[in-house]
Amino acid sequence: MRLFFSFLVTLTLTSCASDPASIAKVEEHAVAMPDRFSADAAMDVLLEGGNAVDAAITAQFVLAVTLPEAGNLGGGGFMTLVMEGKPAFLDYREIAPEKATRDMYLDDKGNVKPYDSLFGARAAGVPGTVAGMWAAHKRYGTLPWQRLLQPAVTLAEKGFEVPKALADNVVWYLEKLEKRGLKGNFSKYFGHMHANEVFRQPELAETLKRIQQEGRAGFYEGETAKLIDAYMLKNDGLINKADLKNYEAAWRQPITVEWQGYDVVTSPAPSSGGVAVAQILGMFAARADDIEQLEHNSAAYVHLMAEISKRVFSDRATYMGDPDFIDVPQAALIDPKYIESRAAEVNLTAISDTDAVKPGLAESEDTTHFSIVDKWGNAVANTTTINLTFGSGVVVEGAGFLLNDEMDDFSAKPGVPNFFGAVGGEANEIQPHKRMLSSMTPTIVLKNDRVKLVTGSPGGTTIISSVAQSILASLYFNLDAEQAANAPRFHHQLLPKDTLRVHEGFDATMLQALSEMGYTLDKRRFGDIHLIKHTPAGLEAASEKSGRGKSMVVGKDKRN
């Protein structure tokens, strides 16, 4: 079947629904969450009359307690929203502290020091999460802030039963620290955690109570700011009280692209993810019909996507960074004519030479994501991170929360890969107050102004592949939510050369065909999709089975 190629770039907010009467209510609530504590707490808020943003705020704070690998107070994230039919985007990404310098992670010989941007107080950017949730509540919240924080306070104070996967991750992380000779206080805070036993976090509970009572100031000023400042001074960190007080979350215009009859609402810079997903979807639409009977996860499909991704990641390395500091040519990168010209370079039968793929115009890994749709048809896609699993591995003494190691998402030295193997140049070099480039891509797809799909995933640069493939699986190959979340995925990012990272579960003959084409197969799982799909029968919600997520759809008065 030939599909109509339609890819119109619209950087205006008015391209989607503007007539509230046209926004159909879905009569159901759906959540797709990375763990059961956040799922239950978010659904309780929705059933109490809160909207998708209220539920998102509760989920974000609960995850700071129950999913310390990535949930956070000490990190940041992006939230893509469609509220009363209007798309919006909240950037609560961390920023480099005032005292950060371009070469701060280089040794005397100009080489990148291996762990300085990944571990310890010096690896942390100024956290954005609390300011982000505060800004979201100010603009869209309907239930009181204190109510929304209560589940997190209770879970920190009274404790929660530790899932086995979390206890296993703590053991794995402690062994990793030991092996690398990295010293900090992670063991003091998390070393006594045991699977299926109740785990309490009294210091974190006090911090959450300050945020509950004082709002934004409960984190960026007063006692919490004092504790962060003191921890930084004692541990060679850079963040100070002024950095905290001056941090601001930013409302930005989301990228909205029309794709095959849908409006895809996704992340603008400082995420590279929205541009990348728009490029992938656009190039896919331009070339899919050149392959007869293109099947989901066939060798032809994987090769087409790898060819596309090569070009996407070449552009990412060169052009993307913080738009408050550099001129990101976002409109040019997603211009339909440009995308068609890049698509024309794709070789459908053989691997393009990596060195010949140039920019076209002139994360163990972690992070977590959740998706929410409320019964009024509002949607939130929220991706949040402290970068790698357990972030910088150190806890602010007295305040009880882990700090991010987001500084590694900057380019420490041009051309030298970061943890995720991503290279960058001047566009993403370290500067005070600058936001480091991200791949987080919370995305909402609309059809006739109604929410059709809400999706997102963790996984550093692999996020881009997970999100693009979840959209294609759901809307091009018409898989249901469960199938789309759990279908095996693959990732290619230009470097390492001709390497495809692949999930378990692919057909062996198909993998053999890719090997014979010249691809190196790196069999390592990545990502953790949480998606919600609207079908004629109602909402479907799915969380990837390999994770510890929970998703549910609740009708008028029952849970299922």
Distance in Å, CB of 386 to ligand GLY, minimum: 8
Q: By rule CB under 6 A, what count of residues binds ligand GLY?
A: 10
**Which position among 267, 318, 439, 499 is part of the footprint of ligand GLY (CB under 6 A)?**
439
- How far apart, in whole angstroms, are the C-alpha atoms of residue 68 and residue 88? 28
SS3 27: coil
Least spacing, CB of residue 75 vs ligand GLY, in Å: 9
Nearer to ligand GLY, 276 or 380 (CB): 276
Rounded distance between C-alpha atoms, residue 456 and residue 470, angstroms: 8
Contacting range for ligand GLY; rule: CB under 6 A; set: 49-57, 145-153, 433-441, 486-494: 433-441
Q: Which is nearer to ligand GLY, 378 or 438 (CB)?
A: 438
Per annotation, catalytic residue among 367, 383, 441, 461 = 367
Per-residue contact flags (x/-) with ligand GLY for residues 180 to 209, judged by CB under 6 A: ------------------------------
Q: What's the min distance (Å) between Cβ of 516 and ligand GLY?
A: 33
Q: How far is the CB of 436 from ligand GLY (least distance, A)?
A: 7
Instruction: Name the pairing type of β-strands 443-447 and 379-385.
Output: unpaired
CA distance 436 to 95: 7
DSSP 424-468: --GGG---TTPBPPB----EEEEETTEEEEEE---STTHHHHHHH
Q: Check binding of 385 to ligand GLY (CB under 6 A).
A: yes
Q: Does 150 bind ligand GLY (CB under 6 A)?
A: no
Shortest reach from residue 493's CB to ligand GLY, in Å: 12
Nearer to ligand GLY, 73 or 553 (CB): 73
Two tokens at 378? 């509002």
322 binds ligand GLY (CB under 6 A): no
Closer by beta carbon to ligand GLY, 260 or else 387: 387
Is residue 387 a contact point for ligand GLY (CB under 6 A)? Answer: yes
Contact between 32 and 346 under an 8 Å Cβ cutoff? The reply is no
367 given a catalytic annotation: yes
Give the three-class secondary structure for 543. Answer: strand
How many Å apart are CA 112 and CA 410, to the nearest integer?
Answer: 12
Whether the ω angle into residue 496 lies within 30 degrees of 0, i.e. cis, is yes
Single out the segment in contact with ligand GLY by CB under 6 A; choices: 84-92, 332-340, 438-446, 542-550.
438-446
Nearer to ligand GLY, 206 or 409 (CB): 409
Interface pick for ligand GLY out of 438, 455, 457, 499 (rule CB under 6 A)? 438
Between the two ends of the chain, the Cα-to-Cα distance in Å is 36
- Residue 440 makes contact with ligand GLY by CB under 6 A: yes
Report if residue 363 touches ligand GLY, rule: CB under 6 A: yes
The number of helix segments (H) and strand segments (E) in the chain equals 17, 19
Of 7-15, 339-347, 436-444, 526-534: span binding ligand GLY (CB under 6 A): 436-444
Q: Is 94 in the site for ligand GLY (CB under 6 A)?
A: no
What is the amino acid identity at position 385?
T
- What's the min distance (Å) between Cβ of 322 and ligand GLY? 12
Q: Rounded CA gap, 349 and 356, in Å? A: 17
- Side-chain-side CA neighbours of 23 within 13 Å: the count stands at 19
* CB of 429 vs ligand GLY, minimal distance in Å: 17
Report if residue 74 touches ligand GLY, rule: CB under 6 A. Answer: no
CB nearer to ligand GLY: give 207 or 392.
392
Nearer residue to ligand GLY within complex by CB, 438 or 474: 438
Sign of CA dihedral 19, 20, 21, 23: positive
Query: Considering the complex, what minimum distance in angstroms separates the CB of residue 428 from ligand GLY?
Result: 11
Asked if 367 interacts with ligand GLY (CB under 6 A), we say yes
Which of these, 408, 71, 384, 96, lies nearest to 240 by C-alpha position?
96
d(CA 94, CA 76): 5
User: Contact letters (x/-) for ligand GLY, 516-555, by CB under 6 A?
Assistant: ----------------------------------------
Of 127 and 215, which has the nearer Cβ to ligand GLY? 127
CB of 130 closer than 8 Å to CB of 211: yes
**Of residues 93 and 311, the one with the C-beta less far from ligand GLY:** 93
Q: Under DSSP, is residue 484 helix (H, G, I), strand (E, B) or coil?
A: helix
Q: Considering only residues 457 through 486, tell me which ones interact with ligand GLY, judged by CB under 6 A.
A: 460
**What's the CA gap between 122 and 124, in Å, rounded?**
6
Ranges within 408-427 binding ligand GLY (CB under 6 A): 409
* Lookup: tokens for 350: 């053989």
- Piece of the chain touching ligand GLY by CB under 6 A; list 106-114, 151-159, 435-443, 490-498: 435-443
Quote the least distance from Cβ 365 to ligand GLY, whole Å: 8
Rounded CA separation 388/55 (Å): 25
At closest approach, how far in Å is the CB of 333 from ligand GLY?
17
Using CB under 6 A as the binding rule, whether residue 127 contacts ligand GLY is answered as: no
Q: 3-state class of 259 per DSSP? A: strand
CA separation, residue 415 to residues 111, 330, 418, 500 (Å): 12, 22, 9, 21
- Residue with nearest beta carbon to ligand GLY: 438
Which residue, 117 or 438, has its beta carbon nearer to ligand GLY?
A: 438
Residues 558 and 553: their CA atoms lie apart, in Å, by 9
On whether the CB atoms of residues 418 and 461 are closer than 8 A, the answer is no
User: Please, what's the b/e burial string for 39-61 (b: 16 or more CB within 10 A of its CB; e: otherwise)?
Assistant: bbbbbebbeeebbbbbbbbbbbb
Q: Tell me if 28 sits within 8 A of 541, measured CB to CB.
A: no
CA-wise closest residue to 481 among 429, 416, 553? 553
> Which are the catalytic amino acids?
367
Chain contacts with ligand GLY (rule: CB under 6 A): 363, 367, 385, 387, 406, 409, 438-440, 460
